[in-house]
Structure 1
Amino acid sequence: MQAKNYVYKIDARDRIISISPEWVTFAEANQAADLPRAVLGSSLWSHLYGAEAVHVYQALLRRLRQEECLLTVPFRCDSPGIRRYLQMVMQPFPDHAVEFVCTILREEPRDEVALLNPATQRDDRFIVMCGWCKKVQTSEWVEVEEAIIRLHLFDQPRLPHITHGVCPRCKHTLLSQYY
């Protein structure tokens, strides 16, 4: 079975100019039915959260466009019941557009994690999740299930919002290998 590619492309001003049908299907299957209509024409930066995550993406795009090289970046895109391990190939074009081709390498089913469900009731707190490996910051960076235990979230009527950062391991890997 051939792996599906989930593709989107940005122009030189970092506006999303195309998304593949597979990307749309994936978004709809993951409770983001309105996302495809809202995404086209919008800034890539309006879809990334956390200053540190934005900084790393900006650094990667700068290098990519200057050196006109392909970058392959591992990352995770988890849902409440599935851990997904992906790779993203970033390809520059002469007009400074960039195409992002994301491929699922493997999936691991798991018990539903309410913290990852967009429909979960939230309070005014925030926790930081690495935008690449999906580990959550506690006294150290740990998998979401462990973070729920350490942060005593299992007995809370409402859960915190998730914002994205970059754990030290991913930051080192991304910036040393790709920048």
Structure 2
Amino acid sequence: MRPEHADELDGVEFDALRAALDDLDASDVEMHIPPPSIWNAIDASAASEAARRAPGRMAVPSTVVEYTIDEHDAVVGVGGHWAEFAADNGAAELVAPPVDRTLWSYFDQPEVRELWQMVVSHVRAHAASARLPFRCDAPQARRWFEMTVAPAAAGQIHFRSELVFEEERSPIALLDATVERAADVDPVTVCTWCGRGDNGGDWLEIDELLRSQRLLERTALPAITWSICAPCRDDMTAELLVAGGIADASA
């Protein structure tokens, strides 16, 4: 009986109930501990509410980007917000990607290509999905995605990336695909996993990199080349090589 309903009992009944409760000891009580899934759900709900209320945090739109490669690693289908995402990120030629190109032909840096090849090989070899968090920032926001790489029929692999968190910031022209680039300066290398930029071996958030290299003082910004920083490469390689591999999407 909750305290707010105590007034529904008369004085004699309330005194009898109080006496009965006072006579209880630890041996009369059996504790039932909720399963871990209950606590996980509570923690997730609390974290979600905290993120929603925090200043500078944006409501996450429902953004899902999907594509599929066949047994020869050629891109054979796209879905979700693929076309919109490609257009918004200055890749109009990929709104309808050619079916005769392999996934690996889209990677400029060999170390990134080789890492993704390891991921695909792992998923095929274990016939199990993998889940991978990564950054993919917009000029006006930091964005965190979660990608699921899953085996499909006839040796196909399906990729599904969902935007899980977005944080507003002042627009950064360096990340704007429509901005003019200087052809006579070295490009800025940005990690495809954590979104940080290379500053002579130190990997900094793009905001810090702009200040450190004084990029805003230039008449034209350098181009961007997408690679992977040493810490992310080491972490990913370790996940791929340990028993069980990358985090199981069914976990």
Determine if the TM-score, normalized by the shorter chain, exceeds 0.5. Answer: yes
Deviations 1:90-115 (A, max 9, x none): 00124221100101011111111111
Deviations 1:51-99 (A, max 9, x none): 2111111111111111112111111111111111000000012422110
Of 57, 67, 72, the residue aligned with 2:116 is 57
How far apart in 2 are the matches of 1:24 and 1:95? 25
Partner of 2:132: 73
Gaps of 5+ in 2: 1-59, 242-251
Which amino acid letter does the alignment assign opposite residue 42 of structure 1?
Answer: R
Partner of 1:128: 189
Deviations 1:155-177 (A, max 9, x none): 11111111121112211221111
Deviations 1:17-70 (A, max 9, x none): 111142222223334334212354422122222121111111111111111121
Of 194, 211, 215, the residue aligned with 1:149 is 211
Q: Which has the larger radius of gyration?
A: 2
- After superposition, the CA RMSD in angstroms is 1.9
Secondary structure of the corresponding residue to residue 216 of structure 2: coil
Report the structure, 1 or 2, having the larger helix content. 2
1:163 paired with 2:222, answer: no
Which amino acid letter does the alignment assign opposite residue 88 of structure 2?
Answer: A
Report the structure, 1 or 2, having the larger strand content. 1
Partner of 2:167: 108
Secondary structure of the corresponding residue to residue 189 of structure 2: strand
Shift of 1:178: 2.8
How far apart in 1 are the matches of 2:117 and 2:71? 13
Aligned residues of 1:19 and 1:40 also touching (Cα < 8 A): no
How far apart in 1 are the matches of 2:68 and 2:196? 27
Gaps of 5+ in 1: none
Aligned residues of 2:130 and 2:149 also touching (Cα < 8 A): yes
Per the normalisation by structure 1, the TM-score is: 0.91
Secondary structure of the corresponding residue to residue 26 of structure 1: helix
Tell which deviates more after alignment, 95-104 or 32-41: 32-41
Secondary structure of the corresponding residue to residue 154 of structure 1: helix
How far apart in 1 are the matches of 2:178 and 2:85? 17
How far apart in 2 are the matches of 1:119 and 1:103? 24
Which amino acid letter does the alignment assign opposite residue 10 of structure 1?
Answer: I
Which amino acid letter does the alignment assign opposite residue 136 of structure 1?
Answer: G
1:6 paired with 2:65, answer: yes
Tell which deviates more after alignment, 106-115 or 36-45: 36-45
